[in-house]
Chains A and B, each alone.
Chain A
Amino acid sequence: MDGEPLVRWHWIGDHLGYLRDLALDHAVISLVPVLIALLAAVPLGLLCARLPRLYQPLAAVFNVVYALPAIAVFVVLIPYTGLATRATVMVPLTCYALAVLLPATVDGLRAVPEDVRQAATALGYGPWHRLAAVELPASVPYLVAGVRVAAVSSISLAAVGALVGRGGLGYLFVDGFQRTFPTPIVAGIALVVLLALATDLLLVLARRLLAPWASGGAR
Chain B
Amino acid sequence: MNWLGWLTTFFTAPARQSGPDAIAHRIAEHLVFCGEALLWAVVLAVPLGVLIGYTGRGAFVVTALTGAARALPTLGLVTLAVLLAGVGDTAVLVPLVALAAPPLLVAAAEGVRGTDPVVRDAALGIGLTHRQVLARVCLPAAAPVLLAGLRTATVQTIATATVAAYVGLGGLGRYVVDGLATKDYPATVGGALLVVLLAVAAQLLFAPLIRRASPPQARLTRRTRTRRTKEPR
Contact = CB atoms under 8 A, between A and B. Distances in A.
B80 interface: yes
B232 A164 contact: no
B143 to A, nearest CB: 20
Interface of B: 3, 67-68, 70-77, 79-80, 82-84, 86, 155, 158-159, 162-163, 166-167, 173, 176-177, 179-180, 185, 188-189, 191-193, 195-196, 199-200, 202-203, 224, 227-228, 230-233
> What's the interface size class on A, roughly?
35 or more
B192 A75 contact: yes
Given A69-B158, A76-B196, A182-B84, A159 B76 contact: yes
Interface of A: 1, 6, 63-64, 66-73, 75-76, 78-79, 96, 103, 107, 149, 152-153, 155-157, 159-160, 162-164, 167, 169-170, 172-174, 176-177, 180, 182, 185-186, 188-189, 192-193, 196-197, 200, 219
Contacts of A63: 203
A69 B196 contact: yes
A149 B231 CA distance: 9
B232 A71 contact: no
Q: Give the secondary structure class of B's interface.
A: helix
B77 A177 contact: no
A189 B77 contact: yes
Closest 3 CB pairs of A and B: A69-B159, A153-B232, A196-B71
Given A72-B162, A182-B84, A219 B228 contact: yes
A71 B76 contact: no
Given A163-B163, A177-B79, A193 B72 contact: yes
A156 B163 contact: no
B162 A71 contact: yes
B3 A79 contact: yes
Nearest to B74: A160
B80 A200 contact: no
A65 to B, nearest CB: 10
B73 A156 contact: yes
Given A69-B199, A153-B70, A160 B75 contact: yes
21 contacts: A64-B200, A64-B203, A67-B200, A67-B203, A67-B233, A69-B233, A71-B163, A71-B173, A72-B162, A72-B196, A75-B191, A152-B67, A152-B71, A153-B231, A163-B180, A169-B73, A177-B167, A185-B79, A189-B72, A192-B71, A196-B70
A162 B202 CA distance: 26
Most buried by A among B84, B195, B231: B195
Nearest to A157: B232
Contacts of A96: 232
Contacts of A200: 67
A157 to B, nearest CB: 6
B186 to A, nearest CB: 11
